[in-house]
Homo-oligomer: A and B are copies of this chain.
Amino acid sequence: MDSDKITIHDIAKLLNIDSSTVSRALNNSPRVTEKTKNRIIAKANELGYQRNHLASNLRLNKTNTLGVIVPRISRHFFSSAIAGIEETAYKLGFNVIICQSLELLEREQSNINTLLANRVDGVLVSISMETENYDHFEGLKQRKIPFVFFDRHCNIPETSSVLIDDFKAGFDATEHLIIKGCQSIAHFSGPLHLEIYKNRFEGYKAALSKHNLDFNDALLFSSRLMEQDGIDNVNKMLALSFRVDGIFSANDVAAISAMQQLKREGITVPKDIAVVGFSNETISAIIEPSLTTINQPGFDIGRSATELLVSQIKNGTKHTTNEHIIIHANLIERNSSQKGKQPKD
């Protein structure tokens, strides 16, 4: 009945053998005969034995736990990534502790302390918008706790990451607008000290350049890409002395609030101004016009980052890894960029 109180000692006693043999058998050690192994496993199943991870982990000095730091769980991209992380982690025998930075550097630091106190075996991080200073990751390095950045990474030596090719995605998004006929394309960027936004911006410039369009400083709007920022950007943009006919926004949230503000101002998307977003939030397929955007496969990124992290944990500290995995992100063409055509469903 009290099947959760069964220990290897109980099994040992019932079988008249030593608990060390039971332990070895259950860990499939070659030091135990196949025959006794089978007896032990049979008895363990019969009793409903479940290994006590606390004891095991204490002895082995590990926790089998991964820490995750994301800006915000409720963002679709991050909740998908977490789904991928959890699923992969459980499969590989790890638990997961999730922390939100809420885009605040201070909270990100305290998250790391929480994870340190919990002695996690490794950490997955997508940094906050405020993070320009990476000192708080030194604590992890010192204690030789491996960590992997996903999506929002930073350029410090000897770290690993799982990313999309933000340069290419920015390029694709911008080129798409150009092909659709845009000549004067604004870019709504996030903080440019973050690699992802820098790279998307570089991609934007490269696409302009390829198509012989000049980059105009006045068309770059950098913000935190919150809802209000999309509105503010549109207002600033409309105050310019020349016309804009396309917007590439580095996230969907700002793209959508921008579209709404444009509508309020009597400007038609995509006829007057075409819009491309980034991330493929659930809502983007549903609003009208539906939003052309870059699909960031959150689940895959989470899975891949977890696999990479666990492989680093298993390899031990033999070599400080510096691996970078690129996950493919494709453009999803919807109505907000169909310049010249009437949007249809």
Residues of B within 8 A of A80 (CB): 74
Known A79-B73, A86-B100, A98-B86; contact A58-B54, beta-carbon cutoff 8 A: yes
A256 near B100: Cβ-Cβ < 8 Å: no
The interface stretch among A113-121, A161-169, A195-203, A325-333 is A113-121
Known A4-B116, A119-B53, A286-B287; contact A74-B79, beta-carbon cutoff 8 A: yes
Residues of B within 8 A of A54 (CB): 54, 57-58, 63, 119
Interface of A is mostly: helix
The interface stretch among A37-45, A89-97, A240-248 is A89-97
Of the candidates B1, B98, B264, the one whose C-beta lies within 8 Å of that of A96 is B98
A286 near B283: Cβ-Cβ < 8 Å: yes
A345 beta carbon closer than 8 Å to chain B: yes
Nearest-neighbour CB distance to chain B for A73, whole angstroms, equals 5
Residues of B within 8 A of A283 (CB): 282-283, 286-287
Nearest-neighbour CB distance to chain B for A65, whole angstroms, equals 8
A342 beta carbon closer than 8 Å to chain B: no
CA distance A13 to B82 in the complex (A): 44
A83 beta carbon closer than 8 Å to chain B: yes
Known A52-B58, A54-B63, A283-B283; contact A143-B4, beta-carbon cutoff 8 A: yes
Interface residues of A in 54-103 (CB under 8 A from B): 54-55, 57-58, 63, 65, 73-74, 76, 79-80, 82-83, 86-87, 90, 95-100
CA distance A178 to B248 in the complex (A): 44
Of the candidates B114, B119, B264, B287, the one whose C-beta lies within 8 Å of that of A345 is B264
A312 beta carbon closer than 8 Å to chain B: no
Measured CB to CB, the nearest residue on chain B to A55 is: B58
Measured CB to CB, the nearest residue on chain B to A62 is: B54
CA distance A80 to B54 in the complex (A): 30
A288 beta carbon closer than 8 Å to chain B: yes
Of the candidates B82, B116, B118, B345, the one whose C-beta lies within 8 Å of that of A73 is B82
Residues of B within 8 A of A143 (CB): 4
Nearest-neighbour CB distance to chain B for A313, whole angstroms, equals 16
A50 near B99: Cβ-Cβ < 8 Å: no
A260 beta carbon closer than 8 Å to chain B: yes
CA distance A283 to B290 in the complex (A): 13
Residues of B within 8 A of A87 (CB): 100
Residues of B within 8 A of A79 (CB): 73-74, 79
CA distance A50 to B1 in the complex (A): 37
CA distance A142 to B142 in the complex (A): 44
Measured CB to CB, the nearest residue on chain B to A51 is: B117
Residues of B within 8 A of A52 (CB): 58, 119
CA distance A97 to B262 in the complex (A): 43
A interface residue numbers (CB < 8 A to B): 1, 4, 50, 52-55, 57-58, 63, 65, 73-74, 76, 79-80, 82-83, 86-87, 90, 95-100, 114, 116-119, 142-143, 256, 260, 263-264, 282-283, 286-288, 345
Report 6 cross-chain contacts, Cβ distance below 8 Å, ordered by A residue: A73-B73, A73-B83, A82-B98, A87-B100, A95-B97, A287-B288
